[in-house]
Amino acid sequence: MNLVIDVGNSLVKLAVFDADELQEKRIVALANLLNVVSALEIDFPQLNKAVVSSVGHLSSDQIENLKKAFNLLVLDAQLKFPFINDYATPNTLGVDRIALVCAAVKRFSNKNVLIIDAGTCITYDFISAESRYLGGAISPGLSMRYKALNNLTAKLPLLELTIPERLIGNSTAASIHSGVVHGVLHEIDGTISSYKNKYSDLTVILTGGDTKFLSKQLKSSIFAHSNFLLEGLNYILQLNSNE
């Protein structure tokens, strides 16, 4: 059995896989990582391999503790992947984006796929039907946009994510919600439309922390899959396993 650890900008996702089947998923604060790992070892004594992907601040001590417990694979750009990387700066490609592309290749082989990861940032990644990764885009996520309006202005308040009641905001708060949420929705729908104009047989995946919030409001046809990155990490561990 495999343990998958995705260390994000704010939280850590842990998942237990038996081959390709997800058995358990937990979301915790980084400070609680090792305690939760210990609990999973008790619940799943068959665990022996693990992969960790970190875009956050995983300490060397935490990594060493994981190495003591498992045959640990730390995700980086030098591992074996099931695609050709045509990114101009492959060593700068985020490990989270690599995992998403791997998941797309496994689940949608021989298809053009656009993966949209809506989290702290919104990332767009395109993999061709020939399994060539071409790149994509990065923009601020919903939470980041709310925070930017508050941090970079003198009077705009920091608001919680809310579905706008109307297109035309009739108050400052309503205007912020309309601007942030409709701005992201139009960005995503517009990006999908641009890709479909070039690739008519496009498959679109929406994943990340804001998947549930956004998927109900998008006009475009998408596959919403909240565990896509975790599946990609499990696939990478399988590809690079010595067993």
Binding site per annotation, positions for ATP:
6-13, 120
Query: Binding site for substrate: what residues are annotated?
Result: 87, 94-97, 172
Query: Binding site: what residues are annotated?
Result: 6-13, 87, 94-97, 117, 120, 172
Alpha carbons 128 and 114: distance in angstroms, whole number: 9
Q: What angle do CA 180, 54, 112 make, to 5 degrees?
A: 65
Closest C-alpha to 15, from 165, 179, 212, 228: 228
Query: Binding site for K(+): what residues are annotated?
Result: 117
Please identify which residue in the block is written with the tokens 């700068």.
92
Q: Catalytic positions, please?
A: 96
Please compute, for residue 103, the number of CA atoms within 13 A of its CA located in the half-sphere on the CB side: 26
Strand blocks (E) in the chain: 2-7, 12-18, 21-28, 49-54, 71-74, 84-85, 113-118, 121-127, 132-140, 203-207, 223-224
Question: Which amino acid appears at position 119 of this protein?
Answer: G
- Give the phi and the psi of residue 205 in degrees, each rounded to 5: -115, 130
